[in-house]
């Protein structure tokens, strides 16, 4: 599944199958004859070829008739980005640290006890793709923070999954050992104090519509912030969710048209004990099954259906009437307008009691009608966290 891309189509119209009988051609190549040559390329080459040539070629080749709407989603596998490894290792010799690297020293006075404690930092600016190390001399804790995709690939657009982790753990362990002089380092059994679970969808020109629709949603006990229309953040003390334009954030061509979801978990105690019911070590928290569970949990809390498309505002009322009848639509149409403005504050403001609020929110969410966008006659595919590999990559 490394570098795997999946895609789906919804087309009302018709197209003529090519000579191979498969109904599509890839950048001028017959799909049957060139399939073997395509899959002998490196996984980076395959992904780049798909994004730049296969999808555009496919969409251009369709002679649409009576077209009402068209969409596709190309998906990268679900994965991880930045993680923070933590382990109590006791004493390190400052002279040995200075000999091994450009460690910086900082003295900090504790507000609680007035005690002066030393911290030692290496690679504090996060130069290149290397881990950032912090040793707390007072407590003896060593912290290593790193973007795992950047460590392996040099960038974090092409994401990684569970099968890539042994190699990533090995490289972090070797770096920590070289920088500190510690022997037999294995960060796989270190605890995590932060983990970023991520997913990305290739949505191309539909990206602004997704961000518009997502900006109407609320997440209870989280503050919502929209930045320049291309980043939407829901944050609390324990975690943070971000939807954003990956191309604008990274500047890389391969990220063009990519909508990225990033869930940063800081309360890893709760994550391990309550959600995943496992230990807090890296090898237990970083699994494809666990990441999918966390991502789907937050999408569900936002009220995003995994199998219902997001419609336009023009079609919203008609869909609510069709789903719930005239009597139900009279109540739910008002609710959806108020929800966009106030979210769960509707309860505190006595618009609704808690039971009524969550019942109506659930009704709309399950029908995929809790949000919308403003471009008529376009259905946005549901944001589904799916890890199967349609191309066999």
What is the structure's pLDDT at 124?
A: 64
Q: Which two tokens stand for residue 34?
A: 């060139």
* Region for 288 from its dihedrals, namely left if φ exceeds 0, alpha if ψ lies in -120 to 50, beta otherwise: alpha
Q: What are 25's strand-pairing partners?
A: 30
**265-319 tens-digit pLDDT:** 999 999 999 999 999 999 999 998 999 999 999 999 998 877 888 989 888 999 9
**129-157 tens-digit pLDDT:** 899 999 999 899 999 999 999 999 888 88
Name the DSSP letter for residue 382.
Answer: P
CB 81 within 8 A of CB 148: yes
Residues 6+ apart with CB under 8 A from 53: 26, 27
Burial of 170 (0-12, 13-18, 19+ CB in 10 A): middle
pTM to 2 decimal places: 0.77
Burial of 255 (0-12, 13-18, 19+ CB in 10 A): buried
Helix (H) or strand (E) holding 98: helix 94-100
Q: Which residue has the tokens 């006890």?
A: 113
Residues 6+ apart with CB under 8 A from 79: 149, 159, 160, 161, 197, 198, 199, 288, 291
Q: What is the mean pLDDT of the chain?
A: 79
**C-alpha to C-alpha distance for 290 and 182, rounded to whole angstroms:** 31
What is the structure's pLDDT at 280?
A: 97
Residues 6+ apart with CB under 8 A from 134: 119, 120, 121, 122, 142, 143, 145
CB 43 within 8 A of CB 393: yes
**175-217 tens-digit pLDDT:** 999 999 999 999 999 999 999 999 999 999 999 999 999 998 8
């Amino acid at each position: 599944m490394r570098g795997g891309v999946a895609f789906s189509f919804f087309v009302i119209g018709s197209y003529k199958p090519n000579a191979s009988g498969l109904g599509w051609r890839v950048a001028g190549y017959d799909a049957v004859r060139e399939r073997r040559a395509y899959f002998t390329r490196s996984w980076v080459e395959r992904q780049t070829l798909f994004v730049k040539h296969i999808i555009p070629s496919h969409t251009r080749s369709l002679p649409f008739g009576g077209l009402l709407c068209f969409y596709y989603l190309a998906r990268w596998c679900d994965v991880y980005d930045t993680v923070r490894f933590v382990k109590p290792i006791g004493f390190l010799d400052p002279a040995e640290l200075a000999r091994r690297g450009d460690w910086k020293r900082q003295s900090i006075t504790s507000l609680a006890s007035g005690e002066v404690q030393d911290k030692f930092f290496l690679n504090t600016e996060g130069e290149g793709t290397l881990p950032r190390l912090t040793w707390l001399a007072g407590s003896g804790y060593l912290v290593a923070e790193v973007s795992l995709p950047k460590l392996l690939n040099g960038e974090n657009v092409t994401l990684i999954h569970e099968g890539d982790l042994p190699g990533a753990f090995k490289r972090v362990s070797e770096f920590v050992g070289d920088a500190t002089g510690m022997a037999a380092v294995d960060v796989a059994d270190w605890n995590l104090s932060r983990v970023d679970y991520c997913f990305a969808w290739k949505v191309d020109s539909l990206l602004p519509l997704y961000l518009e629709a997502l900006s109407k949603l609320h997440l209870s006990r989280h503050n919502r912030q929209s930045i320049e229309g291309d980043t939407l953040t829901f944050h609390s003390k324990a975690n943070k969710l971000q939807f954003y334009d990956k191309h604008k954030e990274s500047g890389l061509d391969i990220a063009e048209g990519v909508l990225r979801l990033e869930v940063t978990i800081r309360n890893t105690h709760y994550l391990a004990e309550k959600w995943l019911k496992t230990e807090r070590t890296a090898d237990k928290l970083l699994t494809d099954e666990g990441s999918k569970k966390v991502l789907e949990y937050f999408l569900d809390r936002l009220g995003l259906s995994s199998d219902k498309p997001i419609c336009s505002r023009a079609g919203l009322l008609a869909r609510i009437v069709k789903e719930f009848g005239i009597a139900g639509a009279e109540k739910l149409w008002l609710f959806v307008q108020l929800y966009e403005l106030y979210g769960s504050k509707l309860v505190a403001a006595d618009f609704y009691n808690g039971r009524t609020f969550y019942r109506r929110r659930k009704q709309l969410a399950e029908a995929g009608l809790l949000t919308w966008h403003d471009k008529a006659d376009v259905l946005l595919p549901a944001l589904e966290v799916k890890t199967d590999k349609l191309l066999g990559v």
